[in-house]
C-alpha cells in the first residue's frame, strides 16, 4: 500500500520531536545562529581550562540540536522513499550540516594545539572525559585546519554512495509479480524479505527467489560501482589520516583490537558452520525436500504450529518477556508502544529490515515491517532493546558520553530477544508441550542466531575479503563481488546446501557495508547478550540490576570493560565458544524432538 493508506497507529509520531514543521525550521535557524556564536566566542580563544570547559558545554547543546534535527529530517525518508518533501527536507539539512560543520572544524584542531597538561585537567571532569580521550587518540590522525575544513564542506558529497545505494534499491527497482500455478503474487523488497523468504510453499518460495534475484541482477553493476566508491573513499581517508590500513581506520572508532575482530569471524566460521549444516539437514528432513537450497534456509521448522501473531499479541509477548528487567525498564517499553515510537506499517517505499534511532533527549524511533509472524516479535524485542538502552543512557549521560562502541551496541538488543524467547520456553516447559518447545527453540536458532551469527557473519567475512583487495589497491566490480560472496557461502555451507542461482547477489541487499565494520558486531553483541540473558535466567534480579546499570553507562567505558561489568569477559574466546556450543545444543534438541514427534 501507499504510505498515506497506512493507519495512524501503525506509523510513528514525529510530532514528539517537533510539533510542527515551523518549529523544526526555527530550530534549524537557531542552530545556525548558535554555531556562528560558537565560532565568534571560541575561535583562536581556547587559552584556558575554563574557556575549554565552557566551550564543551556549548558543544553539548549543539550536538543535542544536531541529533534531533537529523532524526526528524532523516527518519521521514526511511518510511517513504517517494515522499519528495521529506527528501528535500533532508537534502537541505545535509547542506546546512556541511556548511556549519565546516565552520566548526576549527574546534578540534585548536584543541589539539593546547598543551596536553591542560587537556588532562579538563579530562578530570567526567562530563568531558570521553570526548578528550577520543580527541587525544585521534591526534595523530588529524589534518591541518584548512584540510579538515575542506573535508567538512565535502561531507555531503562523501556520504553520497549510501544515498545512491538507497535510491537504486528503493526508488529504481520495480519487481514483477511472481506467478506460480496460474496465480500471481506481488513482489517488492519488503514482501520478499518479510514474507516470501519464509513462505512454506516450496514452489512459491523458490520462484520468488528466482524472480527477485533476476530483478536485482539488472542493477548489480550500478550497485557494485556505488560500493566501490564507498570503499575507495575509505582507503583514501586511511592514507590522508595516516592509519595503518582500512581495518585500523574502522576499528579505531570501535575501540577494539584487530584480534577481537578477526577472532569473531574465524571461530564462528570454523565452529558454528558444522552446527548450521546440521540445522539445514533438519529442515530438509522435516519438510521432505529433495535438497535444501539457499532459498529454503529461512523456512520454519514447524510453520503450521504457530498461528498468525497479531501486533497486540506481539506486544504482550514482549512486555511479559522483558518483565525480568524490572518495572522502570518496562515503563520505557510501554511508552514506546503507547505513544507511537514504533512504525510497523507495510507500505511501499519503506526501508527493508529494521532499525532503532535514538536522538538525544526525545523518544527513540523503531522502524520495521510487521508481517504477523513470530519472527516479528523477536524483531520488536530486538529494536526495543536499542530503545531501552539509549533511553537509560540519555537519562544518565550527556550526549558526549552516550554512545557506546559499535562492538557493544547490539548487546542490549540481542539480550532482549533472548529474554523474550526464554519466557516462551518457560511456558512450553510449564505445559510440557514438546511441539511448542521445539517451535521456541527453532525461533531462537532461525531468527536470533541465524540473523546475527550467520547472516551478518557471512556479510562480515565477505567484507573482510573485499577490504583485503582494497588494501592491495584493487578496484571492485560486480563479477568480483559475486565471486567473493559465493565463495563465502560455499565455505560456510559446504555441500550440504545447494546455492540457487542468485545467491551470490546477496551482497547487494545489505546497507551495512556503508557503515564501517558493522556486520561482525552483531555476533559480538549477541555473544555478550547470550551470556547476560543466561545470567539473568539463572540469577534473576541480581543479574538484571547489574545489566541495567551497565546500560546506563553509555560510552563511558570501552566495550571490553562494559562487557566485564555485566559479567562477561570478552578478552578471552570463552564467551564466544560457549555461545556457539549453546547454539549447537539448541539444534540438537530440535533434532531430538523432531525424531520423537516422528518427523525425521
Tell me what pLDDT residue 307 has: 65
Are residues 471 and 521 both part of a single domain?
Answer: yes
Q: CA-to-CA distance for 263 and 188, rounded, in angstroms?
A: 37
User: What CATH number is associated with residue 12?
Assistant: 1.20.140.70
How far apart (Å, rounded) are the C-alpha atoms in residues 300 and 285?
A: 12
In contact, 210 and 203? CB cutoff 8 Å: no
Task: For 276-307, write each residue's pLDDT tens digit.
Answer: 999 999 999 999 999 999 999 999 999 888 66
Nearest to 421 by CA among 432, 403, 437: 437
Q: What is the pLDDT of residue 405?
A: 92
Claim to verify: residue 531 and residue 568 sit in the same structural domain: yes
In a domain, 391, yes or no: no
CA pair distance 183, 214, nearest whole angstrom: 19
CA–CA–CA angle 143, 144, 149 (5° rounding): 90
Say whether both 103 and 182 belong to one domain: no
Mean pLDDT of the chain: 94
Shared domain for 507 and 587, answered yes or no, is yes
Q: CB–CB of 78/351 below 8 Å?
A: yes
Looking up cell 530440535, which residue turns up? 590
For residue 12, being part of any structural domain is answered with yes
- Do 9 and 67 have their domain in common? yes
Q: What is the 3 state secondary structure string of 478-542?
A: HHHHHHHHHHHHHHHHCCCCECCCCHHHHHHHCCHHHCCCCHHHHHHHHHHHHHHHHHHHHHCHH
User: Distance (Å, rounded) from C-alpha 159 to C-alpha 411?
Assistant: 27
Domain-embedded: residue 400: no
Whole-prediction pTM value?
Answer: 0.86
Mean pLDDT of 127-152: 88
Residue 562 within a domain: yes
Kindly state whether residue 393 falls inside one of the protein's structural domains. Answer: no
Both 180 and 135 in one domain: the answer is: no
Q: What is the model's pLDDT at position 600?
A: 79
Residue with cell 520495480: 174
Contact 355, 330 (CB under 8 A): no
Tell me the per-residue pLDDT of 168-225, one tens digit each, with 9 for 90 and over.
Answer: 998 899 999 999 999 999 999 889 998 899 999 999 999 999 999 999 999 999 999 9
Say if residue 542 is exposed, middle or buried (CB neighbours under 10 Å; 0-12, 13-18, 19+).
exposed
Same domain? For 81 and 206 the reply is no
And the C-alpha cell for 322?
522483558
CB-based contacts of 37: which residues, under 8 Å, 6+ apart? Answer: none
- Same domain? 449 vs 552: yes
Residues 489 and 543 reside in one and the same domain: yes
Q: Report if residue 380 sits inside a domain.
A: no
DSSP code per residue over 162-194: HHHHHHIIIII--PPPEEETTEEE---HHHHHH
122 and 186 both lie in a single domain: no
Question: Does residue 60 have a pLDDT over 90?
Answer: yes
Instruction: Give the CATH number of the domain where residue 441 resides.
Output: 1.10.1370.20
Q: Does residue 557 sit within a domain?
A: yes
- In a domain? residue 321: no
Domains contained in the chain, number: 2
Angle subtended by helix axes 374-396 and 327-338, to nearest 10: 110
Domain housing 74: 3-140
CB 281 within 8 A of CB 496: yes
Of 123, 140, 157, which residue is a domain's last? 140
Residues 83/10, Cβ–Cβ less than 8 Å? no
Dist CA 588 CA 571 (whole Å): 29
Domain identity same for 576 and 526 = yes
Share of the chain above pLDDT 90, in %: 84
Amino acid at each position: 500500500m501507499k504510505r498515506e493508506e497506512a493507519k495512524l497507529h501503525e506509523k510513528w509520531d514525529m510530532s514528539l520531536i517537533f510539533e510542527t514543521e515551523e518549529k523544526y525550521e526555527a530550530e534549524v535557524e537557531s542552530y545556525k545562529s548558535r554555531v556562528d556564536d560558537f565560532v565568534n566566542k571560541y575561535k583562536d580563544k581556547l587559552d584556558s581550562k575554563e574557556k575549554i570547559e565552557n566551550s564543551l558545554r556549548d558543544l553539548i547543546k549543539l550536538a543535542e540540536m544536531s541529533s534531533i534535527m537529523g532524526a526528524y529530517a532523516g527518519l521521514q525518508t526511511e518510511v517513504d522513499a517517494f515522499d519528495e518533501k521529506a527528501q528535500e527536507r533532508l537534502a537541505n539539512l545535509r547542506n546546512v550540516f556541511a556548511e556549519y560543520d565546516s565552520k566548526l572544524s576549527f574546534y578540534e584542531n585548536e584543541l589539539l594545539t593546547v598543551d596536553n597538561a591542560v587537556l588532562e585537567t579538563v579530562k578530570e571532569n567526567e562530563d568531558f572525559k570521553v570526548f578528550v580521550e577520543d580527541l587525544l587518540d585521534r591526534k595523530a590522525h588529524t589534518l591541518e585546519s584548512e584540510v579538515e575544513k575542506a573535508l567538512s564542506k565535502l561531507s555531503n558529497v562523501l556520504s553520497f554512495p549510501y544515498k545512491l545505494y538507497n535510491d537504486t534499491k528503493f526508488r529504481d527497482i520495480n519487481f514483477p509479480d511472481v506467478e506460480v500455478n496460474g496465480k500471481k503474487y506481488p513482489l517488492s523488497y519488503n514482501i520478499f524479505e518479510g514474507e516470501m523468504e519464509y513462505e512454506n510453499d516450496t514452489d512459491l518460495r523458490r520462484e520468488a527467489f528466482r524472480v527477485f534475484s533476476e530483478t536485482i541482477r539488472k542493477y548489480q553493476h550500478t550497485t557494485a560501482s556505488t560500493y566501490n566508491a564507498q570503499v575507495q573513499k575509505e582507503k583514501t581517508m586511511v592514507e590522508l589520516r595516516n592509519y595503518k590500513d582500512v581495518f585500523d581506520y574502522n576499528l579505531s572508532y570501535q575501540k577494539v583490537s584487530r584480534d577481537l575482530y578477526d577472532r569473531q569471524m574465524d571461530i564462528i566460521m570454523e565452529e558454528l558452520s558444522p552446527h548450521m549444516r546440521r540445522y539445514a539437514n533438519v529442515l530438509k528432513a522435516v519438510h521432505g525436500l529433495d535438497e535444501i537450497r539457499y532459498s529454503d534456509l529461512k523456512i520454519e521448522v514447524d510453520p503450521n504450529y504457530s498461528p498468525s501473531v497479531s501486533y497486540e499479541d506481539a506486544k504482550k509477548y514482549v512486555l511479559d518477556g522483558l518483565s525480568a528487567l524490572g518495572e522502570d525498564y518496562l515503563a520505557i517499553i510501554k511508552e514506546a508502544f503507547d505513544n507511537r515510537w514504533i512504525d510497523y506499517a507495510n507500505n511501499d517505499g519503506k526501508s527493508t529490515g529494521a532499525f532503532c534511532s535514538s536522538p538525544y533527549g526525545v523518544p527513540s524511533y523503531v522502524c520495521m515491517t510487521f508481517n504477523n509472524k513470530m519472527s516479528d516479535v523477536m524483531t520488536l524485542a530486538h529494536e526495543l532493546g536499542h530503545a531501552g538502552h539509549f533511553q537509560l543512557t540519555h537519562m544518565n549521560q550527556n550526549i558526549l558520553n552516550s554512545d557506546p562502541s559499535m562492538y557493544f551496541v547490539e548487546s542490549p538488543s540481542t539480550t532482549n530477544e533472548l529474554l523474550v524467547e526464554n519466557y516462551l520456553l518457560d511456558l512450553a516447559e510449564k505445559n510440557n508441550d514438546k511441539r511448542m518447545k521445539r517451535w521456541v527453540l527453532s525461533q531462537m536458532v532461525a531468527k536470533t542466531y541465524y540473523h546475527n551469527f550467520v547472516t551478518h557473519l557471512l556479510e562480515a567475512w565477505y567484507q573482510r575479503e573485499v577490504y583485503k583487495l582494497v588494501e592491495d589497491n584493487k578496484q571492485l566490480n560486480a563479477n568480483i563481488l559475486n565471486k567473493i560472496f559465493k565463495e563465502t557461502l560455499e565455505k560456510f555451507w559446504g555441500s550440504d546446501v545447494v546455492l540457487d542461482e542468485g545467491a551470490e547477489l546477496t551482497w547487494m541487499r545489505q546497507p551495512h557495508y556503508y557503515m564501517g565494520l558493522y556486520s561482525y558486531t552483531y555476533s559480538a553483541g549477541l555473544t555478550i547478550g547470550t551470556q547476560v540473558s543466561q545470567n539473568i535466567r539463572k540469577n534473576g534480579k541480581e543479574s538484571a540490576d547489574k545489566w541495567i546499570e551497565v546500560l546506563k553507562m553509555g560510552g563511558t567505558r570501552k566495550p571490553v570493560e562494559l562487557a566485564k561489568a555485566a559479567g562477561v569477559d570478552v578478552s578471552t574466546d570463552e564467551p564466544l565458544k560457549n555461545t556457539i556450543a549453546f547454539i549447537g545444543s539448541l539444534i540438537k534438541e530440535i533434532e531430538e524432538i523432531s525424531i520423537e514427534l516422528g518427523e525425521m
